[in-house]
Amino acid sequence: MLTRTIGRYLSWPIGVLSFLLASTGIPPNVITWSALVLNLWACVFFAAGGFAAAAGLMILAGTCDLLDGPVARRQNRVSRFGGFLESILDRYADLVLFLGLLVYYVRVDRFSYAILAGVAMAGAVMVSYAKARAESLGPSSEVGFWERPERLVLMIIGGLVNQMGLTLWILAIGSNLTVIHRIVHTWMETEGKLRKQRVENADAGPVRLSPRVSPEPPDTPARSLLTRSAGRGD
């Protein structure tokens, strides 16, 4: 995935920046909120048609996304709530970026692209939701390509080269194909495996139980006397 690739190539600069930020004592949640604020400004620039400026702000916001976790670990402030908050704010960031593009295309009377932005927005949200729901059922859903890092990188490139129309086509199709992929994968990991197990059990045939053998009663004195009498024919 792109996340691991970015982490591998940026591990050293991210480590240095996280060390500097952690030494200032800044709370990790402040960095998380800063990412959302920067994405809100990117939304404003997208709505105004300033795609390159919006892409630059997205780069800064993405840097904050990469830093809040390492800073939390260096400050020993890792918490379950911090991870929850980051996930929620990431979803809002996804929504506002597409909302800015939707507003722009409505302003310039490109309603087909406004609808396309809405479809891409729905796909982006559903990719994350499908993964969360699949993991609540048990199986991991790490399938599909268009996760959040891939979407953000493509939007940044599209903004820098002023090709947001093509970017939206790719995201609208790719994100929703990823959702379908995760639906199929989750079905195979749940219902598919269950049906396969039922078929295998049916092919194995009924389970044969060994007959029950009554235990020999204890050899009491009375029983011993009766047995000896029967043996003599009395």
1 — pLDDT class (breaks 50, 70, 90): low
124 — pLDDT class (breaks 50, 70, 90): very high
Average pLDDT value for the chain: 84
- Average pLDDT, integer, range 111-127: 94
For 59-85, write each residue's pLDDT tens digit. 999 999 999 999 999 999 999 998 899
Give the gyration radius of the chain's Cα atoms.
31
Has domain 2-199 been given CATH number 1.20.120.1760?
Answer: yes
What is the spatial distance between Cα 137 and Cα 131, in angstroms, rounded to a whole number? 10
Give residue limits of the domains in the chain: 2-199
Name the more confident of 51 and 230.
51
117 — pLDDT class (breaks 50, 70, 90): very high
